[in-house]
Amino acid sequence: MNLERGSKRTQEISKLLFNTYKSGIEFTSDTSLNISFSKNSTIDVGDLKDPKKLKLPFGIGLYEPLIGMSIVTEKNIDINSLDRIRTNFVEAYFKNGNNKKYPNVLFDYQNEVLKAGHLEAYNHWILMKGDEEGFDKWISANKDKYDSFVTWFSKNQITIDGNHKFYSWQYQEK
């Protein structure tokens, strides 16, 4: 969505992203939840013998725990709660220095959006097709925020190149 804006495929990705959050976060009671986004949750039992050698996959080692900490005050998943969760995630990712150990150009960009004061609008834009009614309610109360974001966004695109990239295996030890 950051690379191809305003296309039919962008709309499809927006809905898929929203639905991924909806299916990956399950409130099991008032005090517990399950979070599962990672297909790769395999841990080498041999690594358990020496905790210093234990290398958890990014999803279960960092992403899912940070999402869990970012969701603590939420009770359901909709476009507004996902905005708060995603904002809490970006703030925690950088506050804890994870950007140094696990650099990620997308999270870097989301942090730029946050610093520019547009993360709420960005999150609503990126998730709008998954909760169109929620987006319509939000935008009717936040049109100025959204218009300001669109102006900023059109001039500040994500940079993905040889120096700014991410891929699924970049966090594996060599």
Count of domains forming the chain: 1
% pLDDT > 70, the chain = 80
Question: Would you say residue 171 lies in a domain?
Answer: no
Return the higher-pLDDT residue of 171 and 50.
50
Q: What string of H, E and C letters represents the secondary structure of the chain?
A: CCCCCCCHHHHHHHHHHHHHHHHHEEECCCCCEEECCCCCCCCCHHHHHCHHHCCCCHHHHHHHHHHHHHCCCCCCCCHHHHHHHHHHHHHHHHHCCHHHHCCCHHHHHHHHHHHCCCHHHHHHHHHHHHCHHHHHHHHHHCHHHHHHHHHHHHHCCCCCCCCCCCCCCCCCCC
Task: Tell me whether residue 3 is in a domain.
Answer: no
| pLDDT for residue 46 | 59
**What average pLDDT does the segment 24-51 reach?**
69
In a domain, residue 87? The reply is yes
* Full domain range(s) for residue 20: 8-155
Q: Is 173 part of a structural domain of the chain?
A: no
Q: Is residue 165 part of a domain?
A: no
Question: pLDDT tens digit string along 96-121?
Answer: 888 888 888 999 999 999 999 999 99
Mean pLDDT, to the nearest integer, of 52-76?
73
The verdict on residue 170 lying in a domain is: no
Q: What is the pTM of this model?
A: 0.82
Is 99 part of any domain?
yes
**pLDDT band of 173, cuts 50, 70, 90:** very low
Is residue 141 situated within a structural domain?
yes
Region 44-71: what's the mean pLDDT? 66
